[in-house]
Amino acid sequence: MSTATSHTILVTAPALASAGADRLRASGLRILYLEGGKAELDRLMASEPIDAVISRTLTLDGAAIDACPTLKVISKHGAGVNNIDVDAATRRGLPVFYSGGNAQAVAEMTIGMAIAIARDLVLHDRSLHAGGWTRNQIGIELSGRTLGIVGYGKIGSRVAAIGAALGMKVIVYDPHVRARGYEGIASLPEFLQRADVLSLHCPLNPSSRGMLGAAELALLPPGAILLNTARGEVVDEAALLAALASGRLRGAGLDSFSEEPLPPGHPFLGLPNVLLTPHVGGSTHEALAAVAAGAAEHALDWLGGRPVDPSFCVNPSVLDSSIRASAS
């Protein structure tokens, strides 16, 4: 997999899993790893002849993109591109690719959260660690309950399959994708009224930001469980806090928040019916290797003039012959 040695690629993190790092080293191109934060990212974009960026969690905004005239492609390490100014990249004719590979990891964690909340596993664990032996927490079974999936993509479809295997009835809300094998519901209010377990797997965009506010959460059946392994901004967190504190919702499993890291003293930390994880849904050894390899391959293939699966491009309008010719 040879790529011109004149190319420079920037990884916006101090390291990359070996499955991706080895591919970059084998290509013979120049690799820059980011040791600092946003200020260092901006400096490098303005001062180095960067041809490709493998974007992790730092914000790659329009100013940084426009400051780098040599940039040819952006490859996201993961699926969510809300930290990348895709509009700015599109105006420059730059493709933005995302890498698959972590869907199974996120799906397994999502169902794990559902089981943990249904069976009060966190409360039992805390009780035993505190020296107690309390057996008065009565859990519920997921079998026979309705699992509502928002976003029927690579992750949502896997969550649906696991839920169905547990004996759950699966319904899907996705205006853009037909949920083959499951009941798709076009009306969000009708969908929410039926979802005993609501699992979010939609990308963050203008239509999904704040999609679930107080009115929407009030439509969920009493005792419902909410799972968010997508993006925190999809949910009005103040409204969710109120629904959890009132006891109307049984609990929530949250792996993503509107502000990350979660600040000390955040109200979520004081609620016993919330299972919190630090945005690690896709962080297994297997998933990190697959995501790193995919991100590296997309960047290398584009720079080398090789075909890239357009289904992994979030702005496919730039995938034309003139742009490809200028990238190689």
Options 56, 201, 279, 298, the catalytic residue: 279
35 is a catalytic site residue? no
For the record, the structure tokens of 294 come out as 């995919």
Options 194, 201, 231, 250, the catalytic residue: 231
248 is a catalytic site residue? no
286 is a catalytic site residue? no
Closest CA relative to residue 220, chosen from 240, 234, 203: 240
Closest CA relative to residue 42, chosen from 65, 25, 26: 65
CB 286 within 8 A of CB 105: yes
Gap between the Cα atoms of 69 and 51, Å rounded: 9
Query: In sequence order, what DSSP letters do the residues of 28-82 get, joined into one string?
Result: T-EEEE--S-HHHHHHHHHHS---EEEE-SS-B-HHHHHT-TT--EEEESSS--T
**Cβ partners under 8 Å of residue 50, min gap 6:** 8, 9, 10, 32, 44, 68, 70, 71
Gap between the Cα atoms of 68 and 323, Å rounded: 16
For the record, the structure tokens of 41 come out as 């990212």
Options 40, 190, 259, 260, the catalytic residue: 260
Gap between the Cα atoms of 75 and 83, Å rounded: 12
The residues annotated with a catalytic role in the active site are 231, 260, 279
